[in-house]
Every structure is written in structure tokens, then in C-alpha cells.
Amino acid sequence: MGLDFYDKYSTYRDLIDEAGMICGTDLVSVLNDEEKLNETENAQVAIFTMSYGIAQLLKEEGIAADRALGLSLGEYGALTYAGAMDRQDTMRLLKRRSFLMQKASEENRGFLAAVSFMPRDAVREALRGLEGVAISNCNAENQNVVGGKIELKEEFEKRIREHGGKKITFLNVSGAFHTSLMESAAVKFKDYLELFTFSHPEVPVLSNLKGDFYSEEDSIKEILMNHIHKPVMLDSCLFKLESSDEDIHILLGPGKALGSILKQNKIRGQVYAINEAEDLVKAVQGIKESQNGK
């Protein structure tokens, strides 16, 4: 969870220490404790600092993005990277956001499950009439995440299997994020958002909520409020990238799931996934060789 970056790079170390100070958390201790990391209140700041911190290390190597996209929580990293949000403000927002989402999860216990190798329309048909269960993440046509009330978990699984679904993966999360069960968190977060100032991104950023780029007319506050309890339109965002064989995609942060999603959406171009310090060294070398025409 980024500890090798912390040990090796002062820029990254300063960012982690800054986040811990602002959030009143011993973030290094959290990064060393898997149980603590699984708690929403800790995971959001930890994931943001990791992805944003790696992006800063890339900038120091002269590698900057011309477009940015974040999956779910990652949108905060993308917006901050693009200059739409102040870094310290982002940390404060995520501390409050994660607290409210954790509370909503405790009040409205829910589940999230990835449904793979099943068309989205078939998933929707299986869920028809099942109030309190809905698609939360549209990752690819045949890979969608469904969330809902914990008491409907067995009925959800039964319906998916009855409609031909063969692979259901229940996710290790504390709540049904990006579903109506998070609405109370979204409403309370809206008031907190009013305390902050946002700018139009200096680098084009794709919005999970819209499935398209942020425009000058968009209210970032409104989008980030709805982002909590509305579905993530990831495959629509990836389509808007209009990728080419010459593109380089750099995936930042823990895990490898996003790389698989890019493959499912047939995204063209070279992909580098960086979640360890060794990955960073290899990516920088490969990208610079590409830029130099080698």
C-alpha cells in the first residue's frame, strides 16, 4: 500500500505525513495494518495519497498526463492532479466524505458484488422489481458491480444465477457505495462542499457521474455530491478517451483491477500499472524510451 514509495522518495513521504497531520491520523500505521485499511474512514485518504503521490513522482521525471480519469474515489485524485482542487482541501474533503459514508454504511448495511461475463441488460432484467438493489459501477458491458441492501444479498445472487450469471464476486467493502443507500451521506456532504472552492480542471478530467469530460458549465460540487450515491459510468468514460495505438495509459494506486477493465473495453495503446516502487522505475524507463523513439 505504498510503503516502499514512502521509504524511497521524500516527495511521497512528505505527502503521506501531510495527510496524516491534516486528517489527525497516523497514516503510516494505517498503511501497515490491513484491518485498518479496510475501514472506509482510512481507505479513502490512503488510496488518494498513494495515487496522487505516484503522479507527483512521475511529474518529477518529466512525465505529465494530458487527460485524467479516476475510478470512484480516484476522481478526487484526478481533479486534484488537474488543479481543480487544492491538495490539502482534498484531504479534508475525503476525511469528511469517508466519515459520512461509513456512518451511512452502518445505518444502511449493504453489499457490493462484481457480476462478470453477463451483459448489462441481462443484469438489469435480473434485478427488475428488486427494490433496494441496483448497478453501482458500469465497468464494461460484461462486467458490472451491483450494490444493495444486505438482507437482499441472497435474493440478488439467486436472480443473477437464474438469468445465466455464472461469476459473482462479493467485494470486501463496508457498504453499498454509489447506490441509494449512500444518499444520506451525499446530502450531508453537500453542505460541507460549500465550504470549499473549486476551479475548472487545467487538464481535461472525465467525470464518473457523466461518463464524459467536465465542462465549464458543470458544478464540481454538485457532481461530487451525486458521485457518492449515483452509478460510476466507467466504460462511458473510457469510450470518451478515443484511444489510439500511440497512447500511453498509466494506472496509479493499489491493485490491478483497472488494467483488466481496460482490456475488457479494448482500450488501445500501452498500459503501465504502478503500485510498487519497482513498477515506477520500469514505467519511467519505458515511457522515456517511447518518447525518444526507441
For the chain, what is the total number of helices (H) and then of strands (E)? 14, 9
State the pLDDT at residue 256: 80
Neighbours of 75 (CB within 10 A): 23
* Grid cell listed for 258: 483497472
Determine whether domain 3-106+180-291 maps to CATH 3.10.450.50. Answer: no
**In the chain, where does the domain assigned CATH 3.30.70.250 lie?**
110-170
Could you tell me if 237 and 207 are in contact, meaning their C-beta atoms sit under 8 angstroms apart? yes
Full pLDDT tens readout for the chain, 294 residues: 788 999 999 999 999 999 999 988 888 888 888 888 877 778 899 999 999 999 999 999 999 999 999 999 999 999 999 999 999 999 999 999 999 999 999 999 999 999 999 999 999 999 999 999 999 999 999 999 999 999 999 999 999 999 999 899 999 888 999 999 999 999 999 999 999 999 999 999 999 999 999 999 999 999 999 999 999 999 999 999 999 999 999 999 888 888 999 999 999 999 999 999 999 999 999 998 887 765
CA–CA dist 72, 87 (Å, integer): 18
CA–CA dist 140, 69 (Å, integer): 15
- What does the angle CA 26 – CA 193 – CA 221 come to, to the nearest 5 degrees? 125
Could you tell me if 215 and 245 are in contact, meaning their C-beta atoms sit under 8 angstroms apart? no
- SS3 for 225? helix
- Please give the CATH number for the structural domain made up of 110-170: 3.30.70.250
**In the chain, where does the domain assigned CATH 3.40.366.10 lie?**
3-106+180-291
Nearest to 181 by CA among 88, 109, 257: 109
State the pLDDT at residue 172: 87
Strand partners, 13: none
Contacts of 59 (CB under 8 A, 6+ apart): none
